Structure 1
Amino acid sequence: MRRARQGTIPDMIQRYRGIVLAVPLFLVCSILFVVTRAPGSISRKAIPGGFAGSRSYAVIFDAGSSGSRVHVFCFDKNLDLLHIGKNLELFEQIKPGLSAYAKDPQQAADSLIPLLEKAESVIPEGLRRKTPVRVGATAGLRALGAEASEQILQAVRELLQHKSSLKFQSDWVTVLDGTQEGAYQWITINYLSGRLGKSYADTVGVVDLGGGSVQMAYAISEEDAKKAPKVSDGEDSYVQKLFLKGSHYYLYVHSYLHYGLLAARAEILKISGDVSNCISGGYHGSYEYGGKTYKASASPSGASFSQCRDDAVKALRVGEPACAHMKCTFQGIWNGGGGAGQQNLFVASFFFDRASEAGFIDPNKPVAKVKPAEFEEAAKRACQLSIDDTKAAYPRVATENLPYLCMDLVYQYALLVDGFAVDPSLEITLVKQVPYGDSFVEAAWPLGSAIEVVSSP
């Protein structure tokens, strides 16, 4: 019996091979279970660059007047942002901008090569042909005129077509108008705040106050979209239909040229004439904008909130021409019909800057809740001061902006309340950056452009 149980080593391995194989397999599975369940283990999404099964990238060039910038974003299959290295985007910039090469379009295009190479370097080689690249030029190229700007844009198109490994379409290189900027800004803020993919009533409206123009954008119902007035040839439509995160949106968006903060100063000074009720007392000077010079001298009695507001309302042309639609903002512009998509307003750019400089929001926090009435209160305080007292009271205001602090705050209040008919007591959100996960992301148009292009069917 004892001899019968004995055998060669190969015979024993063959007889007990199931046990031999099962033990190490069990140990490996146990180790994997412990590792994947361990507290603090890194999720797939948090790993730099990600290794999710389905990733997509987008490259957006912001060709501004002061410089060119490139943004690279990476999304997972749910259109959530993934890290690129330690950040939620790759961002690089160079100076000067494309408009500095007005007489040499090829040199303008070539100036983007270092940014292009940096963008391509962070995108896996196998995904580059699937990665869209867009170039959006803004104020700098607009100022060059149609012929010069188109020559530069064509040189950029040829650069991307022949020297880039990215997905490219000719119409992805363009001069952005204010309507496009407003739409992309709306996409950016609603995306970062987790509202895309929900009903239009759950989205937020956006007012973006730049230097040359101001944009209003908010989602409306399909029924209101059908009521949009027809526009003349060459004019931007009031409503854009967007497909984002699996949902269709009808976006009312309008850009008011000449009513950005810096441009509005010129419009108000046209109304006031030789002396202005909006200039800090004791200041006598001039204001330059758009290649023109305007007198900017204070009234002998100093600034006046009520008289300055009258001038601001006249500059906005509230009530003229007469409203030809159901309801208008200013200049006879259709207001989109109102509705749920406008009830929660996010207000960006110069609104945030002036509020922080005037001291009624914390400049160290990227988001603040305020009411339009707080701009009124701040304006009344600023308008009472002489230029010397303004300098002492508002150390955060740049020297060149001090004479116009009263005017800027009055205009911002008038724009919201008289222009856009926002209730003075309505709580609005001033935003510079939007929280996203454990990070903050700039509330700027390039992310909105990226989301649109990767969302396209």
Structure 2
Amino acid sequence: MLNHTGYRGVISAPLLLVSLVLFQLPSVYSLNDGILSTNRKLLATTVTNSSSNKYAVIFDAGSSGSRVHVFCFDQNLDLVHIGKELEFFEKLEPGLSSYPTDPKAAANSLLPLLENAKKVVPHNTRQNTPVKLEATARLRQLGADASEKILQAVRDLLKANSGFKTNDDWVTVLDGSQEGSYQWVTMNYLLKQLGKKYSETVGIVDLGGGSVQMAYAISEANAAKAPKTTKDGDIYVKELFLMGTKYYLYVHSYLNYGLLAARAKILNVTKDANNPCILAGYNGVYTYGGVDYKASALSSGSHMKKCRKQAIEALKADGSTCTHKNCTFGGIWNGGGGDGQDHLFVGSFFYDRAEEAAFINASEPVAKVRPRDFKLAAKRACKTKLKDAGSAYPAADTPNLPYICMDLVYQYTLLVDGFGREPWKPITLAVRIKYQDALVEAAWPLGSAIEAVSVAG
């Protein structure tokens, strides 16, 4: 991967490579095609053997944990089965950022994932198989010195222990807009919408722990109206050429507005006072980014409307900071809207909380919902006391229980007040998408893998 300073302007070299290889891919798919239910555990089994197949190993070093994805492609860059699946995927916790002062321990935490990835890739192809690690928002927040030491330890580990093809530039902190672009390419690749009109593609919102990304294709007219740069110097619109079609991709990454970071922002609104988003009966401390925040409930417990006010203030979604005609939140241009975001796919923590709140079927990797479903779930959660939360939400991890009202309120507020989605307008929650006859993780690493095998030759 090129470094992120090269990812400015209308098109990056990596995405140009993606464009060239994707030009040859088939384009037949209906958004109404069925979704295959399966156990999410992936098995490392024999891959269809072909000397022309290419593999890529992608580590996603996220804020809440580390994940490894292994993909296999044929000569046309179509995905090839790995056993019964079209990828190998495993994850573990905690993430690299949990070792801010011990870079070697951070790197060694990846060893179980690395060893299992090696079992998937045939031995005679490993030296030509690119391995990349791309860290997201949380590692950025450790500061340049600490994050670089961790990344260097990972580079050393991969060179010494992986047997894969590695490059120092392939172990890096992923730029937020690059993450959003990869995610958009991944989703539309899996849905086989690439090559169609921009209005037939799908938009994405990916809610991680430290940041949230939005990306969708916009019209040429809206692209021409885009402000030149954001306040942090990034551009709003990327030009991509995919499968013979030119796309103007609106993409923005909102650092510090991921779900875990948002908890800190909401708690900081009330500072040392009790917070209306915390479940009744909880009196504790929430730690994020090395900072402790008072996380204690009101004597009356959590309250939906009061929590909404906190979330809106944390989002800066009242329009007071907007200097453009249309903004999402925090003064960020919204891309102008349009058909490219009509079909909106949202993932990561949106799916997880919906599963924990039990308003989607946990056995299905894709679910059609509406933003108001998060509001209804939040109303129920905010009436729950901590002592009852475990039985009310058996699918939720215990550390998340005090914050379940807050999380659901924030997600509703983010969709409706932040991104301007109508409460009744459908969205699709997705963690895995049917491609051919199997399921593939609907995440940005696939877009990164496409780049990697292209660069590796």
TM band (smaller chain): 0.7 to 0.9
C-alpha contact (below 8 Å) 1:243/1:455 kept by paired residues: no
Structure 1 window deviating more from structure 2 (267-276 vs 304-313): it is 267-276
CA drift of 1:443 comes to: 1.9
Inter-partner Cα distance in structure 2 for 1:188 and 1:159:
28
Inter-partner Cα distance in structure 1 for 2:102 and 2:390:
44
CA drift of 1:116 comes to: 6.3
C-alpha contact (below 8 Å) 2:230/2:332 kept by paired residues: no
CA drift of 1:424 comes to: 0.6
Note if 1:326 corresponds to 2:325: yes
Match of 1:177 in 2: 175
Write the mapping of 1:35-434 to structure 2, written as runs, cut at 5 A.
Answer: 49-50=47-48, 54-64=52-62, 69-91=67-89, 131-139=129-137, 141-154=139-152, 156-157=154-155, 169-231=167-229, 235-273=233-271, 274-434=273-433
Structure 1 window deviating more from structure 2 (419-428 vs 63-72): it is 63-72
Match of 1:16 in 2: none
C-alpha contact (below 8 Å) 2:60/2:134 kept by paired residues: yes
C-alpha contact (below 8 Å) 2:57/2:68 kept by paired residues: yes
C-alpha contact (below 8 Å) 2:86/2:439 kept by paired residues: no
Letter in 1 for 2:325: M
Secondary structure of the corresponding residue to residue 447 of structure 2: helix
CA drift of 1:157 comes to: 4.9
Match of 1:11 in 2: none
**Pair 50,112 (structure 1): closer, same or farther in 2 beyond 3 Å:** same
C-alpha contact (below 8 Å) 2:371/2:422 kept by paired residues: yes
Q: Please, which runs of 5 or more residues in structure 1 have no aligned partner?
A: 1-46
**Pair 140,450 (structure 1): closer, same or farther in 2 beyond 3 Å:** same
Inter-partner Cα distance in structure 2 for 1:107 and 1:391:
33
CA drift of 1:393 comes to: 2.5
Inter-partner Cα distance in structure 1 for 2:115 and 2:276:
52
C-alpha contact (below 8 Å) 1:278/1:303 kept by paired residues: yes
CA drift of 1:399 comes to: 2.6
Letter in 1 for 2:415: L
Inter-partner Cα distance in structure 1 for 2:97 and 2:196:
40
C-alpha contact (below 8 Å) 2:276/2:301 kept by paired residues: yes
C-alpha contact (below 8 Å) 1:214/1:256 kept by paired residues: yes
CA drift of 1:329 comes to: 0.3
The size of the alignment, in residue pairs, is 411
C-alpha contact (below 8 Å) 1:329/1:421 kept by paired residues: yes
Inter-partner Cα distance in structure 1 for 2:83 and 2:301:
54
C-alpha contact (below 8 Å) 2:180/2:251 kept by paired residues: yes
Where relative contact order (Cα < 8 A, 6+ residues apart) is larger, the structure is 2
C-alpha contact (below 8 Å) 1:68/1:98 kept by paired residues: yes
Secondary structure of the corresponding residue to residue 285 of structure 1: strand
CA drift of 1:93 comes to: 6.5
TM-score, normalisation: structure 2: 0.78
**Pair 78,200 (structure 1): closer, same or farther in 2 beyond 3 Å:** farther
Inter-partner Cα distance in structure 1 for 2:245 and 2:453:
14
Secondary structure of the corresponding residue to residue 79 of structure 1: coil
**Pair 134,233 (structure 1): closer, same or farther in 2 beyond 3 Å:** farther
Inter-partner Cα distance in structure 2 for 1:98 and 1:399:
22
Letter in 2 for 1:266: A
Inter-partner Cα distance in structure 2 for 1:381 and 1:337:
34
Secondary structure of the corresponding residue to residue 228 of structure 2: coil
Letter in 1 for 2:151: L
CA drift of 1:118 comes to: 6.7
TM-score, normalisation: structure 1: 0.78
CA drift of 1:346 comes to: 0.8
**Pair 203,395 (structure 1): closer, same or farther in 2 beyond 3 Å:** same
Secondary structure of the corresponding residue to residue 449 of structure 1: helix
CA drift of 1:176 comes to: 1.1
Match of 2:32 in 1: none
**Pair 398,109 (structure 1): closer, same or farther in 2 beyond 3 Å:** closer
Letter in 2 for 1:343: D
Secondary structure of the corresponding residue to residue 275 of structure 1: coil
Secondary structure of the corresponding residue to residue 251 of structure 1: strand
Q: Deviations over 1:348-370 (max 9, x none)?
A: 11111111221211112111111
Structure 1 window deviating more from structure 2 (177-186 vs 259-268): it is 177-186
CA drift of 1:110 comes to: 7.7
**Pair 132,221 (structure 1): closer, same or farther in 2 beyond 3 Å:** farther
Structure 1 window deviating more from structure 2 (117-126 vs 356-365): it is 117-126
Inter-partner Cα distance in structure 2 for 1:98 and 1:383:
33
Inter-partner Cα distance in structure 1 for 2:318 and 2:381:
28
Inter-partner Cα distance in structure 1 for 2:65 and 2:254:
24
Inter-partner Cα distance in structure 2 for 1:421 and 1:320:
12
**Pair 396,96 (structure 1): closer, same or farther in 2 beyond 3 Å:** closer
CA drift of 1:383 comes to: 1.9
C-alpha contact (below 8 Å) 2:351/2:430 kept by paired residues: yes
C-alpha contact (below 8 Å) 1:212/1:260 kept by paired residues: yes
Letter in 1 for 2:396: V
Match of 1:437 in 2: 436
CA drift of 1:107 comes to: 7.9
C-alpha contact (below 8 Å) 2:207/2:347 kept by paired residues: yes
Structure 1 window deviating more from structure 2 (348-357 vs 293-302): it is 293-302
C-alpha contact (below 8 Å) 1:244/1:452 kept by paired residues: no
C-alpha contact (below 8 Å) 2:46/2:120 kept by paired residues: no
Return the index of the structure with the highest Cα Rg: 1
Structure 1 window deviating more from structure 2 (115-124 vs 311-320): it is 115-124
**Pair 242,391 (structure 1): closer, same or farther in 2 beyond 3 Å:** same
Secondary structure of the corresponding residue to residue 414 of structure 2: helix
Inter-partner Cα distance in structure 1 for 2:279 and 2:64:
30
